[in-house]
Amino acid sequence: MSLATLFTAAFLVPLFQTTLRSTTILLLTALGGMFSERSGVVNIALEGMIIFGALTAAVSAQLLEAPYVAKHPGIHIWWIPWVAVLLAMIVGGFIGWIHAVVSIKYKADQIISGTAINLLAAGLPSLVLVYFYDNATNSAEVTNRLPEWFGFSPLVYLAFALVPITWYVMFKTPWGLRLRSVGEHPEAADTMGINVFRTRYTAVIISGMLAGLAGAYLSIGLLNQFVRNMSAGQGFIALAALIFGKWHPLGVLGSTLLFGFAKALAIQLGGSDIMPPTIIEAFPFVITMLVLAGFVGTSRPPKAIGKPYEK
Amino acid sequence: MIRPSWGATEGLCVRIGGVNRLWLALTSAIFLLLLAISPWAVAMRAFGGKGVLITIWGTLDLYGRAKAMPDVSWLGYFTVFWVVLALVAAALAFVPDAKSRARYYYVLGLVGLAVFALEAFLFYHAVWAANNAALAAGARRPPLKRYSLSLGAYASLLYSLLLLMIGRLQLPGGRALLVRWRGVVVPVVSMLLAMVAGAVVVWILRDVKLPEHASLLNYYTAKLDLVTYTFQLLFGPLLTASGWFQSLLIATPLIFTGLAVAFGFQAGLFNIGAPGQLTIGAIMAMLVGVHLASAHWFAGLPYGVARAIFLPLSILAAAAGGAFWGAIPGWLKARYGAHEVINTIMMNYIAASVFLFMIASNEYTFFGKWTLHMPFKFPGYEGRSYEVAESARIPLMVNLFGFHQDASGAWTGSLSWALPLALVALVVAYVLLKRLEMGKRLLLALGASVVGYFIGGFLPGIPMHLSSRLASVRLNGAFIIAAFAVAFYNYYMWRTRDGYELRAVGLAPKAAEYGGISIAKKTILAMAISGALAGLAATHYVLGGGIDEYRLKQSLPTNVGFDGIAVALLGQNTPIGVFLSALLFGVLSTGGLQLDLQLGISRELVMMLQALIVLFIAAGGFLPRYFTDPILAAQAEEGVQGVL
């Protein structure tokens, strides 16, 4: 494989498509994480939330379709993947609620609480899989995946559409202003009559729902089953993208595109002799560290991030 | 199972001297309920978990082919006793005088303990009698196997202990005492809560097979037996020598990573990067232990000299690799204010990439033109390095105890005095040299242990047969390094100025800075030492052959780095706590294998328990604020009015 092949359509078109697909997961997760972190709650549990979302989507879709598929193998029922997506969002939101209760109500260290959820996501799925499928590593295959519109899953369009929507909600609505004020100066916000706790709860739950959505895209959009550890650190990359993107929707779009591109490049170059894929895969992590250190632009977090609010 | 808690229902009912009557009534009711529906003991259990259950209502035979039964006709009288005990305990809450109330509860608790002991004795006696009778009647082997007490009996033991604790709480300063022990109370309560949650999961996941015409009560009894058996299996390794060995084997890397995380916590840093530090430590150990130690220009060295050089050198290399990988995020935080959590996570992934790059292939082509050749991967499908040179290997524990494997694979030898004497000399010298200053004291104690080791080595050993089960466990000298790491952590953190300054930075960074401590330097130092401790875990895997071979393998379980977080939190960042919680997780993981084998419950249950323990400890065990908030807790200890 020579360098010239890199500039042919046969290489570039799939590269473009893979970039959009791998960006989608990061974008959904990072935009969700933005709500949580802008409200002052560190969400390191994004990784776990993706996994729970992916698990819920795959298992619920499979269980819902099972009676139909048993009668007519290969039958396509349009509503099944959408119900599965909804359930994934609900479960993601529930995990977010747990994170919120522990870190807001019980004033736990938010990073430890998030780490606990990530540890839970490493163990619990296997128990669920063994219960339903007698198999600790993957679920049964789902026939009714998410549909594709013009080559991409609807969730891809949704993810990119969410960028302007989040921007509008965050910077142009009163609720967004309240959310940001809670993350910057909760005491002042409280004095102004804003319910700090409720705002934070809502933000963390939204974050969990969007991460659950990303998980659903991963298991029944990209693939057709749940595989153990399938998110493979994308929740952490999304967190890094959030920081790299300076907690701003447009910045997040840029950083997730960059990281998604790096991932797509690593996939497309796998097996070629241009560049070892392991090196390309490490690239987003190195970039993030450089950004954090301030070598590539500066990134200022919300002021009250990580601190439990004492009334 | 039962969590005493005070203050949560304040206002609902009148409090008398710290005990809430509602809670006492509730725990008594739960105890009686457990006694009624759970199995009291298990007469025998077949492979796969089917048991012959003894309840207070009679026998429930889930196995179906029981050949003998112990005579437990006395159980009914004891049941009456426990019901009366619970009722009396509930009634005693209305005694007005706190001191006499305390006395009554002490008496009740002690009587309960004595009766429990009597019951246990009678049960085991009945089982042995039944077995002997069967043997006398001509049975080939005892018909009752794997018998044990069960949830009902455990509940009465716990209830007696609870009554004793309630007695102590009646006296002045009772709750302040509980608050003073919060370093134990919070983890224990969190662990019990996690176990309850685990029990619920097992209850949901696994179905039970009942005999025909079984009642609903039988269903609950069988389910509770399943739950109890799950935890009996999880803690089962504590009962056998090979179980202990296997648990210590799993605990060894957890001790290192747990100490690494705890070290960071003490300095106010959250080192989530132990997996990466371990990986780099393993790579460095591999580079020294494989490539330096077997380099051709050292080929002429006598074996003893090579060992004296390369064994310590490769251990140090592991520590240095981890320290380097830990110091980078430390430096980035000190110099640029970049948060260590994100950076250590990023460095985990970078380390994984480096690892894969080195171990997955020996040839890489760049841009189709330049080819990079590397000497690290052993030929073959699997990603693994070459073997560690003999001189750099850490011996197995059984070797250190004086046993050797001959050419046929059989284990021969006798139990050597070397290790026991070394330990005794260390402890004796340490205790006797109390007058010396710490550094000299430690040095002399270490010297004494070396002398003890050599003297013991020359003494004739105790001839002993080594069971093949014990010999197959690859517990190695890395465990001794881990024990020294625990001692080092204790010494450094609480006996040196550096350690004091580190803790000062962790507790109150601004005050520490005013006190003249450079936070930047301390951050880098803390991260480096923390990383070194995590890197040392690699000695177990690479140099000690922890994963079956003396190689660096792609299956290196870097996840123990994350498990270290659970270990550090459960151990409350104290040296003894870290050691014990690493051992606990080792026991649970070992028991998890049996769980999979016997009940078909995935061993991920253990991972789930770990995660829940972390979550609950983060939430302070859901205990009142005066347990979890340091300032409130200090006020509670001092007896400030209105805190408790």
User: B122 in contact with A at a CB cutoff of 8 Å?
Assistant: no
pLDDT tier at A250 (50, 70, 90 boundaries)?
very high
Q: B365 to chain A: which residues are within 8 Å by CB?
A: 273-274
Could you report the predicted ipTM of this complex, rounded to two decimals? 0.91
CATH code: domain B15-172+207-235 is 1.20.140
Q: A286 to chain B: which residues are within 8 Å by CB?
A: 346, 350
Pick B412 or B276 by higher pLDDT: B276
Closest residue in chain A to residue B344, using alpha carbons only: A289
Q: What is the reported pLDDT for B293?
A: 85
Residues 6+ apart with CB under 8 A from B206: B226, B599, B600, B601
Determine the average pLDDT of the residues in B446-468: 83
Yes or no, beta carbons of B605 and A131 under 8 Å apart? no
Cα-flanking dihedrals φ and ψ of residue A36, to 5°?
-60, -50
Q: What is the reported pLDDT for B574?
A: 93
User: B338 in contact with A at a CB cutoff of 8 Å?
Assistant: yes
Instruction: Tell me how close the Cα of A149 comes to any Cα of chain B, in angstroms.
Output: 34
Q: A130 to chain B: which residues are within 8 Å by CB?
A: 205, 600-602
d(C-alpha B523, C-alpha B332), whole Å:
10
User: B270 in contact with A at a CB cutoff of 8 Å?
Assistant: yes
Yes or no, beta carbons of B559 and A122 under 8 Å apart? yes
Residues 546-605, chain B, touching A (beta carbon < 8 A): 559, 562, 565-566, 569, 600-602, 604-605
Residue type, B314: S
Q: What is the reported pLDDT for A2?
A: 65
Q: What is the reported pLDDT for B18?
A: 47
Cα-flanking dihedrals φ and ψ of residue B4, to 5°?
-75, 135
Q: A279 to chain B: which residues are within 8 Å by CB?
A: 353, 357
Percentage, residues of chain B above pLDDT 70: 97
Domain ranges of chain A: 3-292
pLDDT tier at A273 (50, 70, 90 boundaries)?
confident
User: Hey, what are A299's tokens?
Assistant: 């990134």
Contact A235/A211 with Cβ under 8 angstroms?
A: yes
Tokens 């050691």 map to which residue?
Answer: B579
Determine the average pLDDT of the residues in B417-436: 86
> Per mean pLDDT, which range of A82-86, B321-325, B598-602 is the poorest?
B598-602
Tokens 């025998």 map to which residue?
Answer: B44
**Among the partner residues B346, B356, B569, nearest to A285 by beta-carbon distance:** B346
Q: What is the reported pLDDT for B7?
A: 43
Contact A112/B628 with Cβ under 8 angstroms?
A: no
Percentage, residues of chain A above pLDDT 90: 51
Q: B608 to chain A: which residues are within 8 Å by CB?
A: 120, 123-124, 127
Tokens 């130092």 map to which residue?
Answer: B525
Residue B225: closest CA among B422, B471, B52: B52
Q: What is the reported pLDDT for B263?
A: 95
Q: What is the reported pLDDT for B537?
A: 94
Contact A215/A87 with Cβ under 8 angstroms?
A: no
pLDDT(B56) > 60: yes
**Among the partner residues B357, B602, B611, nearest to A116 by beta-carbon distance:** B611
Q: A136 to chain B: which residues are within 8 Å by CB?
A: 602, 604
Of B156-165, B364-373, B445-454, give the range with the top mean pLDDT: B156-165
Contact B360/B373 with Cβ under 8 angstroms?
A: no
**Residues belonging to chain B:** 644
Yes or no, beta carbons of B618 and A289 under 8 Å apart? no
Averaged confidence pLDDT in chain B: 87
Q: A59 to chain B: which residues are within 8 Å by CB?
A: none
**Among the partner residues B336, B354, B608, nearest to A120 by beta-carbon distance:** B608
Instruction: Tell me how close the Cα of A256 comes to any Cα of chain B, in angstroms.
Output: 15
**Among the partner residues A119, A130, A276, nearest to B364 by beta-carbon distance:** A276
pLDDT tier at B4 (50, 70, 90 boundaries)?
very low
> Per mean pLDDT, which range of B2-6, B152-156, B558-562 is the poorest?
B2-6
pLDDT(B78) > 50: yes
Beta-carbon contacts below 8 Å between A and B: 154
pLDDT tens-place string over residues B109-120: 999 999 999 999
Q: B607 to chain A: which residues are within 8 Å by CB?
A: 119, 122-123, 126
> Which of the listed CATH numbers 3.30.230, 1.10.3470, 1.10.510, 1.10.3210 matches domain A3-292?
1.10.3470
Contact B419/B456 with Cβ under 8 angstroms?
A: yes
User: B608 in contact with A at a CB cutoff of 8 Å?
Assistant: yes
Yes or no, beta carbons of A292 and B343 under 8 Å apart? yes
Residues of A293-310 as b/e, b for ≥16 C-beta within 10 angstroms?
beeeeebebbebbbebbe
**Among the partner residues A113, A124, A240, nearest to B608 by beta-carbon distance:** A124
pLDDT(A216) > 70: yes
**Among the partner residues A44, A108, A288, nearest to B618 by beta-carbon distance:** A108
DSSP letter assigned to residue B140:
S
pLDDT(B177) > 70: yes
Instruction: Tell me how close the Cα of A34 comes to any Cα of chain B, in angstroms.
Output: 15
Instruction: Tell me how close the Cα of B269 comes to any Cα of chain A, in angstroms.
Output: 11
pLDDT(B573) > 70: yes
pLDDT tier at B16 (50, 70, 90 boundaries)?
very low
Q: What is the reported pLDDT for B12?
A: 34
pLDDT(B8) > 60: no
Tokens 């340091």 map to which residue?
Answer: B630
pLDDT tens-place string over residues B611-629: 999 899 888 888 888 888 8
pLDDT(B11) > 60: no
> Per mean pLDDT, which range of B78-92, B253-267, B447-461 is the poorest?
B447-461
Instruction: Tell me how close the Cα of B473 comes to any Cα of chain A, in angstroms.
Output: 25
Yes or no, beta carbons of A282 and B350 under 8 Å apart? yes
Cα-only R_g, chain A: 20
d(C-alpha B294, C-alpha B224), whole Å:
58
Yes or no, beta carbons of B604 and A127 under 8 Å apart? yes
**Among the partner residues B205, B272, B350, nearest to A115 by beta-carbon distance:** B272
Residue B417: strand, helix, or coil? coil
pLDDT tens-place string over residues A154-185: 999 999 999 999 999 999 999 999 999 999 99
Yes or no, beta carbons of A293 and B357 under 8 Å apart? no
Residue B521: strand, helix, or coil? helix
pLDDT tier at A46 (50, 70, 90 boundaries)?
very high
pLDDT tier at B421 (50, 70, 90 boundaries)?
confident
User: B335 in contact with A at a CB cutoff of 8 Å?
Assistant: yes
Other Cβ atoms less than 10 A from the Cβ of B264: the count is: 33
pLDDT tier at A298 (50, 70, 90 boundaries)?
low
d(C-alpha A210, C-alpha A216), whole Å:
10
Number of H helices, E strands in chain A: 11, 0
Domain ranges of chain B: 15-172+207-235, 241-396+475-600
Yes or no, beta carbons of B611 and A117 under 8 Å apart? yes
Q: B350 to chain A: which residues are within 8 Å by CB?
A: 282, 285-286
pLDDT(B422) > 50: yes
Contact A222/A28 with Cβ under 8 angstroms?
A: no
Q: What is the reported pLDDT for B13?
A: 35
User: B354 in contact with A at a CB cutoff of 8 Å?
Assistant: yes
> Per mean pLDDT, which range of B13-17, B243-247, B543-547 is the poorest?
B13-17
d(C-alpha B564, C-alpha B575), whole Å:
13
Task: Give the strand pairing for B363-366 and B148-149.
Answer: unpaired
Instruction: Tell me how close the Cα of A118 comes to any Cα of chain B, in angstroms.
Output: 8
pLDDT(A150) > 80: yes
Task: Compute CA B534 distance to the chain's CA centroid, rounded to the nearest angstrom.
Answer: 17
Determine the average pLDDT of the residues in B122-135: 92
Instruction: Tell me how close the Cα of A248 comes to any Cα of chain B, in angstroms.
Output: 18
User: Hey, what are B158's tokens?
Assistant: 């716990």
Averaged confidence pLDDT in chain A: 89
